[in-house]
Structure 1
């Protein structure tokens, strides 16, 4: 596909087209691949997202800011952005990765997106990379709840009950399955005051 399409989606036209090509090149394709650009882009991404969160949420403390940033820059979040850009159409993969469906692999797409951020930085400086990252992340920030993003279900339930001054849940192991090194636990969760009884399974005890 025409790389100009991707540049339009990113909102950045490369002066040095070789940087764009390198950012899209997986190590399975050639020796001039995108891993060093990915390293650079990862740091820029963390910096820009931290700045966005700092400016937007002036009443949130450091711990919650760190939780938000970690969830926004994790592989799944980058993968979802890469999908919206249809980034898989532009990847340069070796034959083996092509055959094994590497263009669909979340890790490859997430790493390539970070490499693009690094390439934009080298092509036009920090402000250009910042502007691209902001354009991709501001729509996400407009839709997330900073109080709940990245918190697990157990924490959310406990915070809800504490806010309503209801005693914390009771957890009981009702069954254990699998070998000792790979056990799965069936757990009962009770909130007597609300007459709630639910069951779930997982690899660890609550």
Structure 2
């Protein structure tokens, strides 16, 4: 099975590769990384989708970020290393990075997925980001893949390097809200999608009844953290304690 490239598609992928800073030897790997399962399922010919590359890219991403943190912070204990890595490579961050690279614009999607907003769906963007890493690794090897990952994550690493330790957004939000008497926080599960081995949760957070944030993640905790983060950002923009 092979993903055949038209001349137009080849030029699109070359443009994307230039933006990624990677000179692919085999553009079909990048094509595969951008092929959603819905597109493969609707195709009349057998083509390869990106799930296997996503699996590989996830492993490369974890090793590259873990190695960086291990070497950059020699005194950081194991528990904090794990927590910091989890904060850096969370679903929301990877989706945001994918959006910054405009990966959604290059995705090959099935008709229903296209109509359902698949190009901007967080899980699709996150999965594609990881699949591209997998493609870079297979095409260029470890050194180039590692450098690519570190280049993409540089803003997140910089934040940690400048002393902005990984924040427990739920705790910070709770502390800020409870500074004002009579206020309260409530987290609500809005959606739970996907198979048991790959679920996605959507939560929103209310502060004294008012919706202040929404978050998505592969665990309830991650989704709640992202909702709390959004709430804190809104509160900061408004220059107020909570609501």
What is residue 24 of structure 2 aligned with on the other side?
Answer: 14
Are the equivalent residues in 1 in contact too, given 2:13–2:27 (CA < 8 A)? no
Alignment equivalent of 1:5, drawn from 1, 15, 24: 15
Pair 86,122 (structure 1): closer, same or farther in 2 beyond 3 Å: same
Deviations 1:47-82 (A, max 9, x none): 001111112222221111101111111110100100
- Following superposition, the deviation at residue 96 of structure 1 comes to 0.9
Q: How does 1:99-138 map to 2 (within 5 A)?
A: 99-138=115-154
TM-score, structure 2 as length reference:
0.64
For structure 1, the residue ranges without an aligned partner over 5 or more in a row are: 159-168, 170-187, 191-195
- Following superposition, the deviation at residue 110 of structure 1 comes to 0.5
What is residue 172 of structure 1 aligned with on the other side?
Answer: none
- Following superposition, the deviation at residue 153 of structure 1 comes to 3.7
Q: Secondary structure at the match of 1:102?
A: coil
Are the equivalent residues in 2 in contact too, given 1:41–1:116 (CA < 8 A)? yes
Alignment equivalent of 1:50, drawn from 58, 61, 66: 66
Q: Distance in 1 between matches of 2:163 and 2:34?
A: 32
Are the equivalent residues in 1 in contact too, given 2:66–2:85 (CA < 8 A)? yes
Give yes or no for the alignment of 1:66 onto 2:50.
no
- Following superposition, the deviation at residue 86 of structure 1 comes to 1.1
Q: Distance in 2 between matches of 1:78 and 1:113?
A: 7
TM-score, structure 1 as length reference:
0.75
What is residue 112 of structure 2 aligned with on the other side?
Answer: 96
Are the equivalent residues in 1 in contact too, given 2:57–2:135 (CA < 8 A)? yes
- Following superposition, the deviation at residue 8 of structure 1 comes to 1.5
Pair 156,59 (structure 1): closer, same or farther in 2 beyond 3 Å: farther
Deviations 1:82-118 (A, max 9, x none): 0110111111111111111100101001001100111
Give yes or no for the alignment of 1:199 onto 2:215.
no
Alignment equivalent of 1:149, drawn from 150, 166, 177: 166
Q: Which one has more relative contact order, counting CA pairs under 8 Å at least 6 apart?
A: 1
Superposition RMSD on alpha carbons, in Å?
Answer: 2.3
Pair 89,64 (structure 1): closer, same or farther in 2 beyond 3 Å: same
